[in-house]
């Protein structure tokens, strides 16, 4: 009989997480598309916390394939562009699903748009049941509505499935008072409140996603996903990245 690790290990800080990954992160060193090497690295990082019993839901962006906003800026209808972006997130979700299953993990891909040949429709109760059974649930197609980002989809799904935290994996190791890639003197925050993020005008997530997280008292951790072991350290309770706390 399959015994999920959470039945044996209760030492982790978080029991259930929502991991938000950007589509661009999947490019690795490429200019566009999906880098299989980066996918395998992410699968290893996710497996490390899965083996410790953490219940994992994931939302991935689609910017490595298509961005609706970018399409609209070039004359495309915004709604049409956003739906194309949603389909891009499904492609990324399928790619990550394959990488995770190659490592021996059980997964389910659920989408906000009905694509029954490749994914389950998003149903909250079914998603929660999958998580309880130790399956990794990947949410594709954003919220299923144009004009909403995958950041908003991540927070919405996190609230719906009762995640303990939103873990936003980026290429930067936390939140700074200015862009650390442009300003060598940028100062990093180890922790910050929702109110201070707003007062300082810091760009953590889009305003809809951030407000939804604040209203539902769902903390956010921004961290460098590309540094090996960071995801496990966060779930172990180590001070990695920046915590946006209640």
Q: Is 152 annotated as a binding residue?
A: no
Q: Is 23 annotated as a binding residue?
A: yes
Q: Is 68 annotated as a binding residue?
A: no
Q: Is 85 annotated as a binding residue?
A: no
Residue 154, helix vs strand vs coil: helix
Q: Is 147 annotated as a binding residue?
A: yes
Q: Is 146 annotated as a binding residue?
A: yes
Could you report how far apart the first and last alpha carbons of the chain are, in Å? 40
For residues 16 and 52, is the Cβ–Cβ distance under 8 A?
A: no
For residues 53 and 145, give the distance between their C-alpha atoms in angstroms, rounded to a whole number. 33
Taking CA atoms, 26 is separated from 33, 61, 96, 240, in Å, by 7, 9, 9, 21
- Label residue 37 exposed, middle or buried (CB < 10 Å: 0-12, 13-18, 19+): exposed
Rounded to 10°, the helix 150-160/207-215 angle is: 20
Q: Which pair of tokens denotes residue 152?
A: 């908003």
Q: Is 149 annotated as a binding residue?
A: yes
Q: Is 148 annotated as a binding residue?
A: yes
Q: Is 150 annotated as a binding residue?
A: yes
Q: Is 191 annotated as a binding residue?
A: no
Q: Is 20 annotated as a binding residue?
A: yes
Q: Indicate the annotated binding residues.
A: 20-23, 62-63, 67, 82, 143-150, 170, 176, 179
Residues belonging to the binding site for UMP are 62, 82, 143-150
Which residue numbers belong to the known binding site for ATP? 20-23, 63, 67, 170, 176, 179
């Amino acid at each position: 009989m399959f015994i999920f690790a959470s039945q044996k290990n209760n030492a982790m800080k978080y029991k259930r997480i929502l991991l938000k990954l950007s589509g661009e992160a999947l490019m690795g060193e490429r200019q566009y598309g999906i880098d299989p090497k980066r996918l395998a690295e992410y699968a290893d990082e996710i497996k490390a916390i899965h083996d410790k019993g953490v219940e994992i839901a994931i939302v991935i962006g689609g910017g490595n394939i298509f961005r609706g906003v970018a399409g609209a800026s070039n004359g495309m209808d915004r709604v049409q562009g956003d739906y194309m972006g949603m389909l891009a997130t499904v492609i990324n979700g399928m790619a990550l699903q394959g990488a995770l299953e190659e490592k021996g993990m059980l997964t389910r891909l659920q989408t906000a748009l009905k694509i029954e040949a490749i994914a389950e429709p998003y149903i909250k109760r079914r998603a929660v049941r999958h998580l309880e059974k130790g399956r990794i649930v990947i949410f594709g197609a954003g919220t299923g509505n144009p004009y909403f980002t995958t950041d908003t989809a991540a927070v919405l799904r996190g609230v719906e499935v009762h995640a303990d935290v939103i873990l936003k994996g980026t290429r930067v190791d936390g939140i700074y008072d200015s862009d650390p890639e442009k300003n060598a003197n940028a100062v990093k925050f180890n922790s910050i409140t929702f109110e201070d993020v707003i007062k300082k005008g810091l760009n953590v997530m889009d305003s809809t996603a951030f407000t939804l997280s604040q209203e539902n008292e769902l903390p956010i951790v921004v961290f460098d996903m590309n540094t090996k072991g960071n995801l496990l350290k966060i779930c172990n309770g180590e001070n990695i990245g920046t915590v946006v706390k209640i």
